[in-house]
Amino acid sequence: MGSSTIYEKEIVAIILYTSCFFMIMALFLIVFFYFSRKKIIQKEIEKRDLEIFHQKEQLHAVIITQEEERKRIAQDLHDDISSKLNIVSLNSYLLTSPNLSTAEIKEITDNIINLTAKALDNSRKIAHNLLPPVLDKFGLHAGIEELCDEFESSKSVKVFYQNKIEFDQKDRDRDLHIFRILQELMNNSLRHGKASEINIVFDNDNGIKTCFYKDNGIGFNSNDAQNQKGLGMKNINSRISFINGTINLSSKINKGIEVFFTF
């Protein structure tokens, strides 16, 4: 009887110890998974907050760019178009003056015709900058060709453009973003980079459409983050995000600039 009781007590003790062990292990696992899940959730929240912050930065850059563009257009309209139309109005009023000679009437009329033609030409340029007609009518390839011709017409830069892909003209929003990216890059190459040559190549890399851009300008240190925080680069990065692309920029002093982006 004594040995049987001792044996039973040992069995009970083993069961109790085993149960306690599994309970402790279960508690440990619960605590471990709780804190692991909490950490994962925290990481997801941080990632989401970072994405929201990035989106806000992009939106801010776009808004600033739009405001700058509006100011530029308003300035062009005020300084150029409005001033010319004011002179046209004054000349038109002069035509109502009595006793004007034939020569005076001809001079005033010629002034009105000349100023009106200039105002019309400048208004077309402003409209062209907002949305190039050739881009809207004939697509991105034709739009880029015209853009290259416009830059070459300045006689200060030579542009080499090569296209190895087909652009879908149905995706006009994407095409406009790509056009504006190139326009921004080319303006920077000419104004800041003092480049005399620009190369643009569109290609297809395993189903991914790419663009390689290069100039021979004075360049800058692309490893310095401050050099890539200008309004122009913010605008480019925002547009790259809108077309679900990626971008890589590299440059060295006196080595020009190279830009590779996908879309």
Class of domain 131-262: alpha beta
Q: What is the pLDDT along the chain (263 residues), one digit of tens a residue?
A: 556 677 667 777 788 778 788 888 888 888 888 887 878 888 888 788 777 777 677 666 666 766 677 777 777 776 777 778 888 888 888 888 888 888 989 988 998 998 888 888 777 777 766 777 888 788 999 999 999 998 998 788 999 999 999 887 778 888 989 998 999 899 899 888 899 999 999 999 888 999 999 999 998 888 776 666 666 787 888 889 888 899 999 998 999 999 999 99
**DSSP code per residue over 173-241:** HHHHHHHHHHHHHHHHHHHTS--SEEEEEEEEETTEEEEEEEE-S----TTSGGGG-SHHHHHHHHHHH
DSSP one-letter code for 248: E
**39: its two tokens:** 């950490």
**What are the structural domain ranges in the chain?**
2-128, 131-262
